[in-house]
Structure 1
Amino acid sequence: MQKNWDSTLVYSMKQINTDNNKELADYCHYFRSNAFYNKSLYKESKKESLLMSDAKEIYPLKNIMLGKASLELREFEQALIYYKKVEKLPKIVNVLYSNIDIYEGLGLTYLFLNQMKKAQEYLHKNLALRKKEKNIEGIYSAYTMVANLYFMQDKNQLAYNYFKKAYFVTQNINDFEKKAIAVKNMSVVEEYRGNYKQALVYRKESEQWKDSLNNQNKIWAVADFEKKFAVAQKQKQIKVLKVENELKATQRNVFLYSSIILLILILIGTYLYAQKIKNEKIILLQKNKLNELNTTKDQLFSIVSHDLRSSVNALKTSNSKLIESLENKNYNELDQLLHTNSGIANGAYSLLDNLLHWALLQTKQLYFHKESVHLYSIVQQIEYNYKALLSDKAIVFENRVSKNNFINVDLDSLKIILRNLLDNAIKFSNEKGLIKIYTEDTETNFCRCIIEDNGIGMSANTISELLSDSELLAKEKNSEIIGTGLGMQLCKQMVKKNGGSLTIESELNKGTKMILLLPKIKA
C-alpha cells in the first residue's frame, strides 16, 4: 500500500520460501507481479503472474496482470486474450478487482490494434465507471485516453473537447506532472487547429508546471539527501572498518593488478609493432604496384605515340606521292596510293578507338548494359564493316554462327571485341586467305564462339604474353608483328566484364583460333 516495491519483493519471497501454503503463495506471486510491473520490469511481471494458479479467487487477478504486462510488451493479441478471459467471468460480489481494470485494458488494446469502434466502446465504459467512482486522477486518465482515441481518428473537435475536460480535471489534482502533460496536450491540439495564440498561452503554462515539478523534485531530493546523510553517519564506524579491510585487500592485489597491466601493455605494444610492420609491407606492395602501373602507362604512351607517329609519317609520305601522281596524271599509282592512305587511316583510327575504350575501362566510366543479343546478326554487321579490308587481301569470309544462338552481353562491348579480333585476323592473314566465325554446341551455360584464320599464326610464348594481365607488347623483329597488344588487353577486359573468357590456339604458319566463351540466355 506504501508502494515500496523493493520491500514488497523481499517479504513476498521470504513468505514463498518459508511456507507451503498455496493460497498465500498465489497472493505473494501477485504482489511480486505488481511490484515488477511498477518497476517497469514487464517480462519479470509476466513470469510471476504465470506462476499463479487458476484458483477461482486469484484467476481474475492473474489474467489482469498478464494482460497489463502483455500490453506494455506490445503483445497486443495476447493481452486481448487475457482481458477477454476476465470479462467473460460471471459477476462476483466483493472481488479484489474492478471492471475498470478490464475496460481500460481492452480499450487500450483495441486502440493499439487499430480497432477504433471497439476501443471507443470500452474506453467510454471505463470513463463512465471512473466518474461513478469519483476518482479524480482516474477521470483525468480516462478523459485523456478517449481524447487520444478521437485524435488518432482525426476527429479533432471531439478530441479537443475531451483534452479540455482532462485539462479542467487537473486543476483539482496536486500532481504537477499530470498538469504539465494536460496543458501540453491542449497546446498541441490548439496548434493543430491553427489557433497559435492560444497554443502559445498553453505552452507557457506547461513550462511553468514543469518548473514547479523541478522545484518539487529538488525539495524531495534535499529531503532524501538529508535522510541518507543521517543513515550514513550512523554507519560511519562500520564503513571505517570496511575501508581498513579493503585497504589490506588492495595492498594484497596491487602487485597482481600491476603485473596484469604490465603484461597488457607489453601485448598492446607487440600488437601495434606488428601492425606497423604489416602496414609498411602493404604500403611497399602498393608502391611497387603503382610503379608497375606507371611503367605500363609510360610504355603504352611510348608505343602508341610511336605507332601514331609512324602512321602520320606514312600518310605524309603517301600524300607527297599522291600529289606527284596527280600532277603526272598517273592514275594507276593514284588509285594504289588512295587505298594505302585509307588503310593507314583505318589503322590509326582503330588504335585511337582502342586507346579511348581502354582508358574508359581503367577509369570505370564505360557504361555496361547486358541484354539478349542475336550473335549471327552482329557477326553479319561486323563482316559488312570490314568488306573493304577483306577485298583488299582477297580474303574469303564465312559466317557459320548458329542462328539459334542468343547471348546475354553488352552489345557495344561485344562489337568492340569482334571488331578487334576480326581486324587482327585480317592483319595476320595471307593474300587469298580464309577467315571464318562459327559456334560450337556446349552443355554449359556458355556459348562457344570461334574466330579462325589460316594466317601466319604465333608461338606459344606470344600467346602467353597476349593472355597476360598486364603485358603491353612491342613490335618483334620477325614477321610476327603483334603491335602494342592494347586491342587484346581491351578484348580480355571486356570479355571478363561480360562474364566470359578468352583463350587462344595457334601454331606458327598454321593459323590461329580465338575462342570466346560468352554467357547464353537462360531458358
Structure 2
Amino acid sequence: MLWIGYVVYTRQQRTIRLLTRQKADIVKQVQHLERINQQKVNLFSLISHDLRLPVVRLKQQLNTLKQASPATAPIDQQIRESEEQVDQLARMLTNLLDWSVVQMKGLPTNPVQVDVSVLTAEVIADVSTQLKHKNIRLINQVSASTWIIADRYQLLCVVRNLISNAIKFTPPHGYVRLYTKTAGESCIWLTVRDTGIGMSADEVACVLSAPVIRSGTQGEPGTGLGLLLCRELLGDDADALQLTSQPGKGTSVSVRLVTADKPTP
C-alpha cells in the first residue's frame, strides 16, 4: 500500500510540474502575442497618420488655390472638381482606417450627451460640396436640441456615412431628407431617406452582411464598408440599424438612439 501510495504521489507531482511548465509557456506565449499586437497597433496608428496627412495638406492647398484664383477663371472649375475627388478619397480612406481599427482592437466608446441637431448640421456642412456638385437638396428636419447619449465620434462617423451614401446613390436634382421619430419612452429613430436608385431585397441583405462595392449615380467610387462600419459602431444590437429600399424608389436608413435630458447650464 505504501508503495502504491508513493507511486501515485510521484505521478501527481510529475503531472503538477508538467502543468506548471505548460502554464508558464502559455503565459509567455500570451505576453509575446500581446507585445506583437501592441506593436501592430502602434505601427497602424503611425501609418494612419501618414496616410491622412497628405490628403489634408492637398485639401488645404486646393483651398488656397481656389481663394487665389478668380471665380470665373477656367481653372476654378478644375480646382472644384479636384476638391471633390480629394473629399471622396478622404471619405474612403477614413472608412478603411476606421474599419481596420474596429477589426483589430475595437474603437473605445465614450458615451456623452450629444445634440443630434448640432451633429447633423456639422455633417451637412462637411458634405456641402457633394450636394452642390450633384445639385441635390438636403432637407434637414431634425428638431433643435434633440439630445441623446452616444459616443460623439462614432455617431458622427455613422451619420456622415449614411448621408454620403444617400448623396452618392441619388441622381442629380434629387433630395435627401433627415428627420427623427420617437421610438418608445427612451429612444428615437434618426432617419436618412433619399430619392436614389434604391436596392432590391437581395441587395439589401447583401450590403448588411458583406462589403458590396457599387458605383454612385455619377461613377463615385466606394469601398462597400460604409454600412458594415455603421453596424459595428452601433454595437451588438442588430436592430439598431434598419434599412428599407426599393429599386427606383430610394432608400431609407434609420438608426436607433437613446434619448437624454438637455444638460443643465
TM-score bracket for the superposition, by shorter chain length: 0.5 to 0.7
The 3 A distance-change label for structure 1 pair 367 and 351 is same
1:495 Cα deviation after fit = 1.4
Q: Distance in 2 between matches of 1:336 and 1:434?
A: 24
Q: What 5-or-longer segments of structure 2 have no aligned partner?
A: 1-71
The one of 86, 109, 120 aligned to 1:368? 109
Match in the other structure for 1:490: 229
Aligned AA for 1:486? L
The 3 A distance-change label for structure 1 pair 392 and 475 is closer
Match in the other structure for 2:168: 427
Aligned AA for 1:510? K
1:454 Cα deviation after fit = 0.8
Do residues 473 (structure 1) and 203 (structure 2) align?
no
Match in the other structure for 1:449: 190
1:335 Cα deviation after fit = 2.9
Q: Distance in 1 between matches of 2:239 and 2:200?
A: 24
The Cα RMSD (Å) is 3.1
The one of 501, 507, 513 aligned to 2:240? 501
DSSP 3-state at the match of 2:227: helix
1:221-300 matched pairs, under 5 angstroms: none
The one of 372, 393, 405 aligned to 2:146? 405
DSSP 3-state at the match of 1:402: coil
Match in the other structure for 1:458: 199
The 8 Å contact of residues 166 and 194 in structure 2, kept in 1 or not, is answered as yes
Do residues 379 (structure 1) and 120 (structure 2) align?
yes
Match in the other structure for 1:350: 91
Aligned AA for 1:347? Q
Aligned AA for 2:260? I
Q: Distance in 2 between matches of 1:498 and 1:354?
A: 21
The 8 Å contact of residues 117 and 143 in structure 2, kept in 1 or not, is answered as yes
Q: Distance in 2 between matches of 1:519 and 1:482?
A: 33
1:499 Cα deviation after fit = 8.9
Q: Distance in 2 between matches of 1:496 and 1:473?
A: 21
The 8 Å contact of residues 473 and 483 in structure 1, kept in 2 or not, is answered as no
Aligned AA for 1:388? T
1:192-203 matched pairs, under 5 angstroms: none
The 8 Å contact of residues 369 and 410 in structure 1, kept in 2 or not, is answered as yes
Aligned AA for 2:83? S
1:522 Cα deviation after fit = 7.0
The 8 Å contact of residues 92 and 223 in structure 2, kept in 1 or not, is answered as no
DSSP 3-state at the match of 2:150: strand
1:498 Cα deviation after fit = 8.4
Q: Distance in 1 between matches of 2:228 and 2:169?
A: 18
Q: Distance in 1 between matches of 2:192 and 2:142?
A: 10
1:297-308 matched pairs, under 5 angstroms: none
Richer in strand (by share): 2
Match in the other structure for 1:294: none
Match in the other structure for 1:87: none
Match in the other structure for 1:4: none
Q: What 5-or-longer segments of structure 1 have no aligned partner?
A: 1-329
DSSP 3-state at the match of 1:496: coil
Q: Which has the higher contact order (CA 8 A, sep 6+)?
A: 2
The 3 A distance-change label for structure 1 pair 498 and 350 is farther
Aligned AA for 1:371? V
Q: Distance in 1 between matches of 2:85 and 2:208?
A: 27
Match in the other structure for 2:254: 515
Could you report, residue by residue, the CA deviation over 1:468-519 in whole angstroms, capped at 9, with x for unpaired residues?
A: 1xx122447x999884321111111001268971111111111111111112
Match in the other structure for 2:28: none
1:414 Cα deviation after fit = 0.4
The 3 A distance-change label for structure 1 pair 404 and 441 is farther
- What's the TM-score once normalised by structure 2's chain length? 0.65
Match in the other structure for 1:78: none
The 8 Å contact of residues 405 and 447 in structure 1, kept in 2 or not, is answered as no
Could you report, residue by residue, the CA deviation over 1:322-374 in whole angstroms, capped at 9, with x for unpaired residues?
A: xxxxxxxx943x33322222121111111111111111111225221001111
What number of residue pairs does the alignment pair up? Answer: 195
1:386 Cα deviation after fit = 1.5
Match in the other structure for 1:418: 159
Could you report, residue by residue, the CA deviation over 1:358-414 in whole angstroms, capped at 9, with x for unpaired residues?
A: 111112252210011111111111111112221122211121112352111100000
The 8 Å contact of residues 408 and 520 in structure 1, kept in 2 or not, is answered as yes
Larger Rg: 1
Q: Distance in 1 between matches of 2:153 and 2:236?
A: 12
Richer in helix (by share): 1
The 8 Å contact of residues 375 and 401 in structure 1, kept in 2 or not, is answered as yes
